[in-house]
Chains A and B, each alone.
Chain A
Amino acid sequence: MIDLVAKSPAAGLLPVTVGASTLSEQPVTQIYSIAPFKGAHVSTALKKAVGLGLPNVGGSKSEDGVEILWAARGQYFLIGAKPPPLPAAITDQSDAWCTVALTGENTDHVMARLCPLDIASMEHGDVARSLVGHMSAIIVKRKGGVTLMVFRAFAKTLVHDLQTAMRSVTAQATLPD
């Protein structure tokens, strides 16, 4: 028998603060993908069980530490709770993602170096699938920053790319006119 010890994807790499931006890893929690089968209505049952129904495309819902994100075509991520049995494909994604929070007033400038989206025009809670550097990512706009999710194995590159952009943006602000 072996006793297994959990390790988070960005263990030892975060948090990092550069100038006005801070990058920190979000704690590993439960993440379940929910992809309803054809014609299935899952919102009611889901709401009853975890307090939240499905969000709109590009949106999210959250309440009492539970959040549900639109994640892809016909696919949602329930975070912080386990879904009940549903007429949907459900998979455990808890360990598949490295989730980081980028906060601070430079967030939009840092993201502009790595992501082709207009982060400034997103509303709090908006979700998008796009790129961070060369990596496919789930991007959630937050008050005061963004949450970024990339595949777990990309953790090191994600931190490196964001840190490089954070340093660059901070350095640029101090350049003489």
Chain B
Amino acid sequence: MRHDTKGLIDRTQRRSFTFDGNSYSGFKGDTLASTLLANNVHLVGRSFKYHRPRGIMSDGTQDPNGLVELHQGDQITPNLRLTGQELVNGLDIRSQNHLGSLDWDLLELNDLLSPFLSAGFYYKTFMWPKAFWEKLYEPIIRRAAGLGRLSMANNSDRYEKAFAFCDVLVIGSGPAGLMAALTAAEAGAQVILAEEDFIFGGRLNSETYDVGGTSGHIWAAEQIAKLREMDNVRLMKRTTITGAYDGGTYAAVERVSHHVAQSGDAPLETFWRITARGCVYAAGAMERPIAFQNNDRPGVIMASALRGYLNRYGVAAGKRVVLFGNNDDTFRTAHDLAAAGIHIAAYVDSRADADITGDFPIYKGAHVTNVKGRKRVEAVTITGAGDVMADCLGVSGGYNPTVHLACHMNGRPQWNENIAAFIPTPNMVPGMEVAGAAGGTFSTHGCLKSGVFRAREVLKALGLEARAPAIPKADALQTRIRPLWMVPCKGRAWLDFQNDVTVKDVKLAAQENFKSVEHMKRYTTQGMAPDQGKNSNVNALAVLADATGRGIAETGTTTYRPPYTPVAIAAMGAHGQGAGFAPQRFTTSDKISRDMNAPMIEAGLWYRPSYFPKDGEGHWRQSCDREVAMVRSAVGVADVSTLGKIDIQGPDAGAFLDFLYINTFSTLKPGKVRYGLMLREDGYVMDDGTTACIATNHYVMTTTTAAAGQVMRHLEFVSQCLRPDLDVQFISVTEQWAQFAVAGPKSRDLLAQVLDEPPDLPFMGCGEVSVGGIKARLFRISFSGEHAYELAVPARYGESLFKGVLDKADALGGGAYGMEALNVMRVEKGFLTHSEIDGRVTAGDIGMGAMMSEGKDFIGKTAAQRPGLLEDREELVGLKPVGAVKELNAGAFLFAVEDDPIRETQQGYTTSVAFSPELGMIGLGFLKNGRERHGEVLKLVDHMRQVTTRVEICHPVFLDPEGSKARD
């Protein structure tokens, strides 16, 4: 319930949300957790395995129980943390992981079966029969266990990624972080102060003590105001640093708009990569529970959280409170609660010599042994006092410094007996200094001092001089503690609330010889839930240490890995969602092609027209057939700008090409073009294309669209690493030129109308021409087998040229053709694409073994001679259907007619198929020793589509094998 006067909430701004359909109201400054507690709601979820009722346990984002679903339209955000989500009007929050309602969860049956469901139960039980695991056991177990659900709808939320840079990154804005930020800022460093919470100040906002003679939270606000005024300081709240990586890189998630109902164009979250020259890590400490029977009942809450809810939110989590602790810090809770008029039914300290006084019953040297009540604490059993009526139990087992980030580079923290906790080992993350409670300094004064000292250490390493600011006056008392991990009991005492791991489970692990802490973790699943063991790791390993007779230091911790808190995959994958996955490259003819209703197909990052449908054409084949016939009988125009074009110049340009290609280019004369094939270093084919000699020592290499980037990279590697002796320079000119294929028997006529002078080029010739006075390049090359050209103009004129050429082609009975027709014609001619040269074929496989020059060295030459690459290869062949079934499919496999179509009898496969208007279905493929087998009839089996076709093996060039059409 709400306390009348306390809290940092804004009582003038009332807000409400719904939880499982019930409306609850709170104020600006509330979290969902504080709002629920203010409305006396403790039961917020069901546990992972046993479906036990669970309540809010802490006031930080590590809370293991307060995980819920946020519903927005068709979206569900699972595992939202009640303790981290600010209260926003209208949020639709629902509890998760139950069958039936939260109140009546049918799967609570599991809790009754718990004697059978201890750690290792699944491993032992679901072993037999083997086939049952996948089909029966796993689906049932998965249904019963688990946390939030996804809606399975596309994620419509906006996420963002961003980069930031600073000299000093300060993580955490409690007393240590604030002093560190002030020290670094005043020294002139560029500072980023990151705070997970939505107000700065860390623990100071949850405590009542003074700093510098004023209330802690007011002092914190004053320091923030001071920092805000400084140009060299960037304040980032709602920002969790989630990982420490190499080179001073830190990952961070900023919850940009979780706190507003309508975010407009702002993202929900931003995933930051912060590069910092130095870092002060001041993330504080987390209170840990004590394991005793039924310590997981709703209403059992961390002692510090109890006063945190009171001081920061003005919320009393109970009317009759019992406190149970093993350290002096728990006194603060007692005093704050008592001062606020909350009834303390008992104060239980496990230490007989505890130094506490107060106006409430105090039991020293006593334990809480059990909690009564199922969905809410009803009574607490205390040794020596029996059952004490209470509706809330505050627990403190001491504090664990938040060592996580300091350990992210595989460092291990060290055990400190004085505070009974692990503290960071120095220098585990280069450039990081750990300050305040994260380093094991728990007094406020100590934290303030530590912040200054650690910041100065960081600044010193950066070569910056820092004045020591005055340390404000604050409490210097070091809290005393005597370790208490568990209270022996017959029932179950919980360690990991999120994964339902008990003291018994850990002992069982040890008993079954899973004694290493890493083994215990895997055996019990302790520490493997969304909180990653923040509430349970140290307690569990202390129990393990006890069970194995080792010390805690010797037992050690498991590995701390990023992320520190769960990070939405959508945040890490921001900019990669939907079309953001890859940038788009559009040709200069793109708009005209789309205006002609051409469906576009992706080629690498490019978009190319598949075909250009005309009126009355209802099927792509009709358009494609028409386009093929058009090119073969008149003239067609296709945008081929997407092919890679690399300009190569230099005294050694010819030698460079000779080294790259299997055939010789240094002999190519200016004005001539040659087809070339290049291998990878392993002897397999990398790419093919034509290279034109523009002038002496000046070439333009053409690559396939898909491999343009790969070939460019290859050229860089060869030039920089393999042949730095060669004097050659090269640069991509792909985008400089808009290039169009003009193919067909009327191509020359068409160009005569387009160019300022009629073309006069021999086959495989090239030269400079002009179009409307603009200098252009003309190549007489053919990928269709027709008399054909490629005309290149500076890209700014591309659209205009395409339009002009199409207008004139129309009068000749010609027009535009797309990728489908282009593909049909190249299959008819047996020309190759990356369907054939897919990285697994050799020059010999595609019938070009003889092109490999003997008189020079080239990349892949030696490797191409190795055993396995020469003999018994699958070779390029043509395929024609000869039976009743005419269907050919790419990707289908070849078998002898009499063989079973199984892997062992497979003899080859198809790579490309096409319907040739002239020849019917034809295909290209690879067949074992295929060149010698022309005329053989085989069976082509497409297992996917269940099609079997009889095919005759033939030469891969179906049309005009002499190439006379292209040459004429």
Contact = CB atoms under 8 A, between A and B. Distances in A.
A11 to B, nearest CB: 9
Nearest to A170: B265
A41 interface: no
Most B CB atoms within 10 A — which of A7, A94, A133, A155? A7
Nearest to B267: A168
Contact of A171 (B263, B651, B805): B263
Contacts of B793: 4
B164 interface: yes
Contacts of B165: 118, 120-121
Contacts of B343: none
A135 B755 CA distance: 35
A47 interface: no
Interface string B240-261: 0000000000000000110110
A152 B798 CA distance: 12
Interface string A11-34: 000000000000000001000010
Nearest to B257: A175
B735 A96 contact: yes
A27 to B, nearest CB: 11
A112 B164 contact: yes
A81 to B, nearest CB: 17
Contact of A35 (B160, B266, B651, B729): B729
Contact of A1 (B585, B647, B729, B753): B753
A92 B768 CA distance: 14
A124 interface: no
Contacts of A118: 163, 165, 275
B794 A94 contact: yes
Q: Which one of B164, B587, B794 has the highest number of Cβ atoms from chain A below 10 Å of its Cβ?
A: B794
A62 interface: no
B263 A175 contact: yes
Contact of B796 (A28, A74, A113, A176): A28
Nearest to A4: B797
B588 interface: yes
Contacts of B158: 168
Contacts of A89: 647, 649-650, 729-731
Contacts of B100: none
Contact of A157 (B162, B583, B756): B583
B731 A91 contact: yes
A168 B160 contact: yes
Contacts of B733: 91-93, 96
A35 B736 CA distance: 17
A94 B772 contact: no
Of listed A2, A3, A89, residue having the most chain B CB within 10 A: A2
B256 A175 contact: yes
Given A37-B727, A116-B163, A171-B263, A2 B804 contact: yes
B731 A33 contact: yes
A90 B698 CA distance: 10
Contacts of A121: 165
A151 B273 contact: no
Interface string A29-62: 0000101111000000000000000000000000
B735 A152 contact: yes
B584 interface: yes
B162 to A, nearest CB: 5
Interface string B839-862: 000000000000000000000000
A49 B217 CA distance: 67
Given A5-B797, A112-B163, A153 B256 contact: no
Interface in B782-808: 793-801, 804-805, 808
A97 B800 contact: no
B265 A168 contact: yes
B774 interface: yes
Interface string B163-201: 111000000000000000000000000000000000000
A80 B704 CA distance: 32
Contact of B606 (A2, A153, A167): A153
B421 interface: no
A96 B795 contact: yes
Interface in A106-147: 112-118, 120-121, 133-135
Contacts of B798: 7
B727 A2 contact: no
B736 A157 contact: no
A102 to B, nearest CB: 15
Given A5-B800, A118-B275, A157 B584 contact: yes
Contacts of A37: 650-651, 727, 729
B804 A8 contact: no
B717 interface: no
A28 B267 CA distance: 34
A7 B796 contact: yes
A89 B648 CA distance: 8
Contact of A4 (B263, B584, B736, B801): B801
A118 B165 CA distance: 6
A117 B162 CA distance: 10
A171 B256 CA distance: 11
A112 B162 contact: yes
Nearest to A38: B727
Given A95-B736, A135-B583, A172-B266, A2 B730 contact: no
A134 B735 contact: no
B771 interface: yes
Given A168-B267, A172-B256, A92 B736 contact: yes
B464 interface: no
Contacts of B753: 1
Contact of B771 (A4, A133, A154): A4
A4 B804 contact: yes
Contacts of B799: 5, 7
Contact of A75 (B731, B734, B800): B731
B575 interface: yes
Contacts of A95: 735-737, 794-796
Nearest to A91: B647
A58 B753 CA distance: 47
A2 B754 contact: yes
Contacts of A90: 649
Contacts of A151: 585, 734-735
Contacts of A117: 163
B582 interface: yes
Given A89-B647, A120-B165, A154 B583 contact: yes
29 contacts: A2-B805, A3-B800, A4-B793, A4-B801, A6-B796, A7-B799, A8-B796, A9-B796, A33-B731, A35-B731, A74-B729, A75-B729, A95-B795, A96-B732, A96-B735, A96-B736, A116-B163, A121-B165, A133-B575, A134-B575, A152-B795, A153-B606, A154-B584, A161-B575, A171-B263, A171-B265, A172-B266, A175-B263, A176-B260
Given A4-B772, A90-B649, A158-B583, 17 more contacts: A2-B804, A3-B804, A7-B799, A33-B731, A35-B729, A74-B729, A91-B736, A92-B794, A93-B733, A96-B736, A114-B575, A120-B165, A134-B575, A153-B587, A155-B586, A157-B585, A168-B265
